[in-house]
Structure 1
Amino acid sequence: MKPEEYSSKDYLPLGYYPWPDLINPHAEQMGKDMDGWIDNEYTFLTEKQRETYKKMRLHMCTARMWPDLTYEQSIPCNRFMLQYVALDDQIEHSSLEEIQQLRVRCVDILKGAQPRPEENALYQQMALIRDEFRALMPELWVDRFIYYFYQSFRYGIELEYPYKIAQRPPSLTLFKTIREYSVLMRPYLIFGEIESGLVLPEHIFEHIVVQKIISYMTRIVAWQNDIHSLPKEMAKGTEVFNLVFVLQQEYNLSLKDACSQASRIHDEELSKVLALHAEYREFGEYQEHIDKFVYYAGVGLQGVNSFYLETERYRHGGVGFAWPEISRNLNK
């Protein structure tokens, strides 16, 4: 198979998952909101980058993943979608020290620090996200969100760094461990608790079965992302943190065979989620909370897959991606 013959829908077509494929009724207004933020707040980006982000229609990822959010609830979720995607994209050429500084500063702001007037939209928007979530959700949930943001950054983005610099992937075993965090899905996954209105108490959230379900679901999105983003990453030529590339290296596979193996790994993770949720029903009065949590996470999996199939973000040749400027320091 030649790279130009690859199509992610051959592996993960529309409606692939056993949950409904829905769209939030406020999607149109969410799009207007996001375009306004891009034009008026994200002025540290170039005009070309801003136009590229608008063409990605990232608000539809929010609308598809969390279709039952009220408009008020959707605002911080949609705001975070743009902030986190732009943050991840634009640190591509940053040093490890710059990435660590950005993580520390973002976490400080989420915990209550105020951004300085000269700090760019990545920091200014983080403060708005914090305040909007605090107005909607209990402190327990906000602390959970902050911790998952920290985890994804500290044990995902930062642990990827040396392999990206060396332009060689780790072993498949280590890759799976890091990729679970670097896909940046953990803070998004708990948005289902906003939709359901059922925030898992800490002793339930920390239960090994719940944590294993979260782990599997996060990996499913990682393999989704690797399958759908492959055209963009093949165009880049230097990306190493993709399941397909790791499988090619570890087992000396062709592109076609590596894609088939990646699809099988994805399906195995999905089967584990469904089996674990079906078998373990020992949460007593909190079983409804768990069932809702899994349902909304599943709708999120279905929704993000649908978004991947419709967005221009991962087009062949990388033409739909907002590539960062090599010399940009985002901490200034």
Structure 2
Amino acid sequence: MTPEQFNPKDYLPQGYYPWPDLINPNIAQMEIDMNNWIDYDYAYLSEQARKKYKKMGLHLCTARMVPKASYEQTIPCSRFVLNFVVMDDQMEFATVEEKKRDCERGIEILKGAEPTPDENGMFQHLALIRNEYKSFMPSEWLERFTENLYRCFRYGVQDETPFKLARRVPALEYFMILREYSVNMYPYLYWADIEAGFVLPKDIEEHPVIQRLRALTSRIEAWQNDFYSLRKELGLDTELMNLILVLQKGQKMSLKEAVMEAKRIHDADVAEFVALHENLPNFGIYQQQVYDYVMSLGIILQGLNTHYIKDTERYLAGGAGFAWPEQRVANEYKK
């Protein structure tokens, strides 16, 4: 298999998963909102970068992940998608210390600190996200959302940085854990509470089966992302934190062998998720609500896969659709 022969839709076609493939009806207004935020609140980015963010269809990502949410509920969700994508992109070549500084500042704001007037739109939006979520979700939910964002920062974004900067892949066994967090999926999983209209009670929230289902959701999304981003990453020696590339380089596989093994890992996680969903433990009076909550996790995965296929230019071959950070070091890495 050559890179040109690889098409992720051959492996994860639309409708691949056993969950509903839905979209929020408010997409027209959501697109207007997204484009306005990009143009005015993220005006510190270059015009070229802003054009690329508009072509990523990030409002449609939100619309597919929370198809049943009200328009008002989609607003902080869409803000968060844009916020986190911009942060992830613009810190692509940052050091651990730089990432730690900005990530910790973001957590401070979500916990109640106010951004200073000179902080850019990314930090200003975090305060809006916090306040908008607080208007319709309980404080306990926001605490869980923020804590899981921190876990992704700490155990994913920061811990993968030395490998990215050194241009080397970690051992497969470690990568499988690291990627679960570096894909930054955990905070998004709390959107399932919004979709289901049900915040899990603490004892259910902490149940090992629920924790495992969240881990599987994050892992499956990581493998999805690795399939769809592979065309962007092939040929760029800075882009190695991808299951297929880790298998290829670390396990000395051909590209075809690595793709098939990644598909096997992905499908095994999906099968475990489905089996757990259909065999939930006894949650008493909350049984149907928990079942619906897990269904919402599945809808998130189905929606993300459709978004990759239909909506975005983010993963064009060679990184042509990616908003690379506009710093000297980025140009050095791309040479």
TM-score range, shorter chain: over 0.9
* 8 Å Cα contact 1:93/1:327 also seen in 2: no
What is residue 291 of structure 2 aligned with on the other side? 291
The one-letter code matched in structure 1 to 2:324 is W
1:227-246 aligned within 5 A: 227-246=227-246
Count, aligned residues = 329
What is residue 40 of structure 1 aligned with on the other side? 40
Against the structure 1 CA distance between its residues 282 and 275, is the aligned structure 2 distance closer, same or farther, given a 3 Å change threshold?
same
In the TM superposition, what is the alpha-carbon distance from 1:237 to its structure 2 partner? 2.7
What is residue 320 of structure 1 aligned with on the other side? 321
What is residue 204 of structure 2 aligned with on the other side? 204
TM-score in terms of structure 2 length: 0.96
In the TM superposition, what is the alpha-carbon distance from 1:281 to its structure 2 partner? 2.8
Q: Does 1:218 align with 2:218?
A: yes
1:53-68 aligned within 5 A: 53-68=53-68
C-alpha separation in 1, matches of 2:42 and 2:161: 25
Q: Which digits, 9 at most, give the CA deviation of each residue in 1:64-118, with x for residues without a partner?
A: 1110010000000011010011111110121111100011100000011000001
In the TM superposition, what is the alpha-carbon distance from 1:174 to its structure 2 partner? 0.2
In the TM superposition, what is the alpha-carbon distance from 1:235 to its structure 2 partner? 4.0
The one-letter code matched in structure 1 to 2:326 is E
In the TM superposition, what is the alpha-carbon distance from 1:207 to its structure 2 partner? 0.6
TM-score in terms of structure 1 length: 0.97
C-alpha separation in 1, matches of 2:187 and 2:289: 18
C-alpha separation in 2, matches of 1:317 and 1:106: 30
* 8 Å Cα contact 1:156/1:179 also seen in 2: yes
What is residue 89 of structure 1 aligned with on the other side? 89
C-alpha separation in 1, matches of 2:29 and 2:225: 26
What is residue 195 of structure 1 aligned with on the other side? 195
C-alpha separation in 1, matches of 2:270 and 2:86: 28
* 8 Å Cα contact 2:21/2:303 also seen in 1: yes
Q: What's the secondary structure of 1:69's corresponding residue?
A: coil
Q: CA RMSD in A?
A: 1.2
What is residue 169 of structure 2 aligned with on the other side? 169
* 8 Å Cα contact 2:69/2:194 also seen in 1: yes
C-alpha separation in 1, matches of 2:230 and 2:29: 31
* 8 Å Cα contact 1:233/1:318 also seen in 2: yes
C-alpha separation in 2, matches of 1:289 and 1:190: 15
In the TM superposition, what is the alpha-carbon distance from 1:34 to its structure 2 partner? 0.2
- Which aligned runs of 4 or more in structure 1 are off by greater than 4 angstroms? none
In the TM superposition, what is the alpha-carbon distance from 1:236 to its structure 2 partner? 2.5
In the TM superposition, what is the alpha-carbon distance from 1:196 to its structure 2 partner? 1.6
1:294-305 aligned within 5 A: 294-305=294-305
C-alpha separation in 2, matches of 1:286 and 1:101: 40
The one-letter code matched in structure 2 to 1:318 is G
What is residue 271 of structure 1 aligned with on the other side? 271
Mark the runs of 5 or more structure 1 residues left unpaired by the alignment: none
C-alpha separation in 2, matches of 1:178 and 1:233: 18
What is residue 333 of structure 2 aligned with on the other side? none
C-alpha separation in 2, matches of 1:154 and 1:224: 22
What is residue 134 of structure 1 aligned with on the other side? 134
Q: Which digits, 9 at most, give the CA deviation of each residue in 1:43-64, with x for residues without a partner?
A: 1211100000001111110011
Structure 1 stretch displaced more, 56-65 or 234-243: 234-243
Percent identical: 50
C-alpha separation in 2, matches of 1:185 and 1:205: 17
C-alpha separation in 2, matches of 1:303 and 1:322: 23
Q: What's the secondary structure of 2:135's corresponding residue?
A: helix
